[in-house]
Amino acid sequence: MSSMYDAVVVGAGPSGSAAAYEIAQAGFSVIMLEKHPRPGIPLCCAEAVPRAALERLVTVKKEWVSSYIDNIKVIAPNGEFVTIMHPGAGLVLDRKIFDNDLAQQAIQAGCKLRCETIGLELIRRGNLFSSLKILNRDESIEEISARVFIAADGVESKIARLAGIGNLVNDDDTAAYYQYRLVDIEIDSTVMEFHVGNEIAPGNYAWVFPKSSNSANAGVGVSVNRQKGNSAPQFLDRFVEHRFGKAVIAERFCGLVPKYQGKRMFGQKNLLVVGDAARVLDSLSGAGITNGMLSGKYAGQAAVKYLSGDLKNIDEIGQFYPGQFLKEKGEELALYARLRHVYSKLDDNDFIEIVRALNDYFSNNSISGVNAGRLLAGIMTTRPRLLRLIKHLI
């Protein structure tokens, strides 16, 4: 079997749906392929997003939102904490609803969606990719031809690997994440918690993101090369017992989060790579939903320029994607990758000093006036023991 479209998008998460929507909205034929039974399942995400960043990209529906975050609490290893008050700063989503709705918006624009479909082979003719061989859920094999291919198939991106993009993760650049959905607990649904310390989560942090006043996503990230013989679930079990005592575990989730790798991950020729597949993650926090959607949007718009004949040849597509995306987010993502390196050097006394510095800073500055550079400089200069870490930023 064979068929032809203007574009093929592999992966129906937020990044893929954003790309497919842009292409379909412009009137081009596009099919989105998803290996799971439906978008949004299974969940591999803590579900938190910055509200302003999401509202830039889509009109937020109330059914997407589990809780509205007004306060961020950072807890040091000795129990000291800082609470940063920023009303409306963030949202904790219901990704099962959110992802499916984004895919439906792409469908309404004209995109076709096919689930339980796996990419097998990316075929090249000349210097361009011409078709993708796929395995359908009925076990039939089909070849789909297209002029543009977009890989939105996550951290493990098989499509990018088939194209020859080296995307294998290594221990130094990767954190293992494990998360529980806890129920029957008491929690402030407006407060997002970050717990730091090398006994809690070596080289990373633990989190509590409220889903309601009696449920939350609680998880840990552990740098793969610093697990000390313990698995991420073991760290999480200890953290949950410490934070909540007894709690009912309703669901379990896991995943790997590699750090940002720069321009080399964004594709080649008429294959564009977006979202987690392109490593557009905040290397410090692991957050990637809105960055992924933005990369998908710009990739979709670049595909439209190519398909409509606005570009003389495929080599010009790079100025639009990843060009436009990197112009907006490149410096930020590179900074977070460097900060990730600094973070990995912190000991528990450093974390305590940082929490104290944050308390000092936010007693004199409003959250609306925060400048990341001034904040970092303030922490470094008021806490002399942290000055040794500056060399890791250079």
CA distance 366 to 257: 32
Based on the fold, state whether residues 25 and 35 are members of the same structural domain.
Answer: yes
Based on the fold, state whether residues 75 and 130 are members of the same structural domain.
Answer: no
Residue 31 sits in which domain range? 2-44+96-169+260-338
Based on the fold, state whether residues 14 and 143 are members of the same structural domain.
Answer: yes
Based on the fold, state whether residues 316 and 222 are members of the same structural domain.
Answer: no
CATH number of the domain that 134 lies in?
Answer: 3.50.50.60
> b/e string for 51-69 if b means 16 or more Cβ within 10 A?
bebbeebbeeeeebbbbeb
Q: Which of 243, 258, 273 is the last residue of a domain?
A: 258
**Residue 48 confidence (pLDDT):** 92
Task: Kindly indicate the confidence band of residue 279, based on its pLDDT and cuts at 50, 70 and 90.
Answer: very high
Q: Is 379 helix (H, G, I), strand (E, B) or coil?
A: helix
Q: Which residue has the tokens 């979709």?
A: 300
User: pLDDT at residue 371 above 60?
Assistant: no
Orientation of helix 289-307 relative to helix 14-25, angle to 10°: 30
pLDDT in tens, 129-151: 999 999 999 999 999 999 999 99
Based on the fold, state whether residues 252 and 266 are members of the same structural domain.
Answer: no
CA distance 145 to 219: 41
Sheet (strand 267-268) strand order: 112-115, 30-34, 7-10, 148-151, 271-273, 267-268
CATH number of the domain that 241 lies in?
Answer: 3.30.9.10
Tell me if 58 is assigned to some domain: no
The pairing of strands 148-151 and 7-10 is parallel
| Residue 5: other Cβ atoms inside 10 A | 20
In this structure, what token pair is assigned to residue 37? 């039974």
286 HSE (CA, 13 A, CB side): 28
**Residue 16 confidence (pLDDT):** 98
Task: Kindly indicate the confidence band of residue 362, based on its pLDDT and cuts at 50, 70 and 90.
Answer: confident
**Residue 204 confidence (pLDDT):** 87
Task: Kindly indicate the confidence band of residue 106, based on its pLDDT and cuts at 50, 70 and 90.
Answer: very high
Tell me if 285 is assigned to some domain: yes
User: pLDDT at residue 225 above 80?
Assistant: no
CA distance 142 to 155: 25
Tell me if 51 is assigned to some domain: no
Based on the fold, state whether residues 40 and 118 are members of the same structural domain.
Answer: yes
Tell me if 50 is assigned to some domain: no
Mean pLDDT of the chain: 89
User: pLDDT at residue 226 above 80?
Assistant: no
**Residue 85 confidence (pLDDT):** 85
Based on the fold, state whether residues 223 and 285 are members of the same structural domain.
Answer: no
Q: Quick one: residue 154, left, alpha or beta (phi over 0 = left, psi -120 to 50 = alpha)?
A: left
Segment holding 377, helix H or strand E: helix 372-382
Total structural domains within the chain: 3
Task: Kindly indicate the confidence band of residue 277, based on its pLDDT and cuts at 50, 70 and 90.
Answer: very high
**Residue 44 confidence (pLDDT):** 77
Tell me if 21 is assigned to some domain: yes
User: Model pTM?
Assistant: 0.92
Segment holding 290, helix H or strand E: helix 289-307
Q: Which of 212, 227, 258 is the last residue of a domain?
A: 258
Q: Which residue has the tokens 């000291």?
A: 80
**Geometric angle at alpha carbon 269, from 267 and 274, rounded to 5°:** 25
Tell me if 54 is assigned to some domain: no
Based on the fold, state whether residues 192 and 254 are members of the same structural domain.
Answer: yes
Q: Per DSSP, what are the bridge partners of residue 81?
A: 75
Based on the fold, state whether residues 354 and 366 are members of the same structural domain.
Answer: yes
Tell me if 318 is assigned to some domain: yes
Based on the fold, state whether residues 233 and 85 are members of the same structural domain.
Answer: yes
Based on the fold, state whether residues 301 and 154 are members of the same structural domain.
Answer: yes
Q: What percent of the chain has pLDDT over 70?
A: 89
CA distance 82 to 362: 9
> Quick one: average pLDDT of 229-248?
89
Q: Which of 307, 338, 369 is the last residue of a domain?
A: 338
Q: What are the residues whose beta carbons fall under 8 Å from the beta carbon of 124, sequence distance 6 or more? A: 130
Tell me if 37 is assigned to some domain: yes
Based on the fold, state whether residues 190 and 312 are members of the same structural domain.
Answer: no
